Chain A
Amino acid sequence: MKILVTVKEVATVEDEFEIEGTGIADQYLGADLNEWDDYAIEEAVQLQEAGVADEVVTVTIGPEECEQTIRQALAKGADRAVRIWDDSLEDVDLLDVGAKTEILSAVVEEEDPDLVLTGVQAGDDSFGATGVSVAEHLGYQWGAVVNHLEHDFDDAASVRRELEGGVEELTEIELPAVLTIQTGINEPRYASLRGIRQAQRKELDVKALADLGVDESAVDAELELTDMYEPESESDVTTWEGSAEETAGELAELLRDKGVAQ
């Protein structure tokens, strides 16, 4: 079985920062592997260790500077990586879900994996839609917000999904499929020193849109970022005096009132 994992280098931001135009000032920004993708990689590597998968390939859309981040996945056990970049992507401010779907779908068609794992969302732009959108585009089955995956399957995957309001669903999903992976599904490992060394020699293939047969017009965004501001936040505190037995009921009532619990 072959697994394709989509990975992304995301922007990270310090606790205190300043907004500049429609972005955050550079000096407050860092970069790291998207947290959800770290769990997706771990799940894929565990499937490989369990003998279910025999190849794990990662794919990213990003400039050369993100290679160091992408190699983290290779150091943790992925076999090879594909990086998509193109001159036409250079000045795109916000790559929208439609564009990502076209590009990633082309990679999926070329690689022809049995299983595609994505993160539920990216920590920076947080669309939370790419995985499912790719599945729809390709006519693959999909399962979103997967927080458990059985490690023995052939033509279907047994998954547990998080639904709203604390409800979970157990379901079988036929392959080929896209699963969007939720944090907490496993405990991502640290890249081992040997792994880091070996990752330097693993294949990292760079492709342009034309190599994938994707037209440049695919990256023309339908979305435009018009403003960036900190939302006004209100805070409100309720305190109860008394023992847990006396006050737990009141807390439950409040949570129900606020719509947090059902």
Chain B
Amino acid sequence: MEFGLSEEQEQIRDEVARFAENEIVPHAEEYDTEEKFPHDIVDEAAEMGLVGASIPIEYGGAGYSTLESAIIAEELFSYDPGIALSILACSFGTEAIREFGNEDQKERFLEPVARGEKISGAAISEPDTGSDVSSVSTRAEKDGDEWVINGNKMWITNGTVGDFFVMLCKTDPDAEGRYDGFSQIVVEADRDGFTSEKITGKLGIRASDTAELILDDVRIPEENLIGDQGAAFLQQMQFFDATRTGVAAQGVGIAKGALRAALDYAQDREQFGKSISEFQAIQHKLADMATKTEAARNLTYKAAWNVDQGNDITKGASMAKEYASRIAVDVANEAVQIHGGSGYVNDFPVERFYRDSKITQIYEGTSEIQKNVIARELLDKGF
């Protein structure tokens, strides 16, 4: 059993931390307050290769594994989740192209994303389709050598800044099974009939762009179909373990950042003539926060390691995602408590961590859905 990171992995973590401290932290409050997508920071991150870390080397990425991507996500999220997501989500959806796309699609879509010239997105959710993905109603109909797409996609990350979206569409409404008849099609934002509307007023991750997409007779060439027609669910399912592990890493990062801020503040702040870190009540909070963070990290790294080994870890990935997102909310909450009144305003980063943490329990499958998955696996397969 090997529990340590390699020298290369430590070096990645240190360089990402250096980037975040210099380029992200000084601007985090501004982008959060103004709900503004951080284009400049994303450009710099692209230069360092942060946006396409998991895109294969032959298409311009760094070819990093799930574990290394988790290390990067943890580190970035520990400084500012909103900007971190803006950077890492620039390649959302490309995993499908990487795995099931043909050579032409990989060149057209992966390379510009790896170079930071284009931003991608994954469009699954709809106004009436959230946890129950099989109810997707966005329709793609074949007309000659084109797909004609109609429907609405909701809550789409990068919706107004993205150049293309890997979209889950219903292509065969008469298919028999609940999960049959869906396909993944790349929809470019500059096609006629495509519009997007930014969603503002989010609780957290306000630098990240979220929008509703409206598709009105959007015509897409047939060569934008990814993989096999009707096989979207089969294709998408292959990435759940990796993407859920990725959100688990976000949770670990938020907890790590909130703990870091709380430790600093507790040692600085004095009441009753001494540092508040000398009160046992505060010490116990810090001890609990650190222990939970470490436990979540171990679940997450183990899940990531398993994904990289090619093992089936449906249960492990859901456990990591559910637990890490729960303790992210917990630890951020305690970090605000340790800050007292100062934690209630945005002079300190914990106010943002507290608001940002909640999303990790909602996207990529809510906590309830993760528990459903864990229980199903337990009951079907036992330990």
Residues of A within 8 A of B49 (CB): 192-195
A199 to B62, CA, bound (A): 12
Interface 1/0 per residue, A56-80 and B, CB below 8 Å: 0000000000011001100100000
Residues of B within 8 A of A193 (CB): 12, 48-50, 53, 62, 64, 72
Of B3-11, B149-157, B184-192, B200-208, the one with at least 4 CB within 8 A of chain A: B3-11
Answer yes or no: B19 CB below 8 A from chain A CBs: yes
Contacts of B57 in A (CB 8 A): 194, 197
Q: Interface SS of chain B: helix, strand, loop or mixed? A: helix
Contact B15 A200 (CB under 8 A): no
Q: Is the CB of A190 within 8 A of B11?
A: no
- Check A192–B11 contact: CB distance below 8 A: no
| Distance of A72 Cα from B27 Cα, bound (Å) | 26
CA distance A200 to B7 in the complex (A): 9
User: Are A190 and B18 in contact, with the CB atoms below 8 A?
Assistant: yes
Within 8 A of A (CB), among B34-64: 47-50, 53, 57, 61-64
Q: How many residues does chain B have at the interface if contact means C-beta atoms less than 8 Å apart?
A: 19
* CB nearest to B45 among chain A residues: A190
* Assembly CA distance A108 to B57 (angstroms): 36
Please name all residues of chain B whose beta carbon is closer than 8 Å to the beta carbon of A24 when the two chains form the complex.
none
Q: Would A71 and B11 count as touching, CB distance under 8 A?
A: yes
- Overall SS of chain A's interface: helix
Nearest B residue to A200, CB-CB? B8
What is A's interface to B at a CB cutoff of 8 Å? 67-68, 71-72, 75, 189-197, 199-200
8 tightest A-B contacts by CB?
A193-B62, A193-B49, A192-B49, A190-B48, A194-B62, A191-B15, A192-B48, A200-B8
Additional A-B contact list (7), CB under 8 Å, known A72-B15, A192-B49: A189-B47, A190-B19, A194-B57, A196-B8, A196-B62, A197-B64, A200-B7
A selection of 30 A-B contacts at a CB cut-off of 8 Å is A67-B7, A72-B11, A72-B15, A75-B11, A75-B15, A189-B48, A190-B18, A190-B19, A190-B47, A190-B48, A191-B11, A191-B15, A192-B47, A192-B49, A193-B12, A193-B48, A193-B50, A193-B64, A193-B72, A194-B49, A194-B61, A195-B49, A196-B8, A196-B12, A196-B15, A197-B8, A197-B57, A197-B63, A199-B11, A200-B7
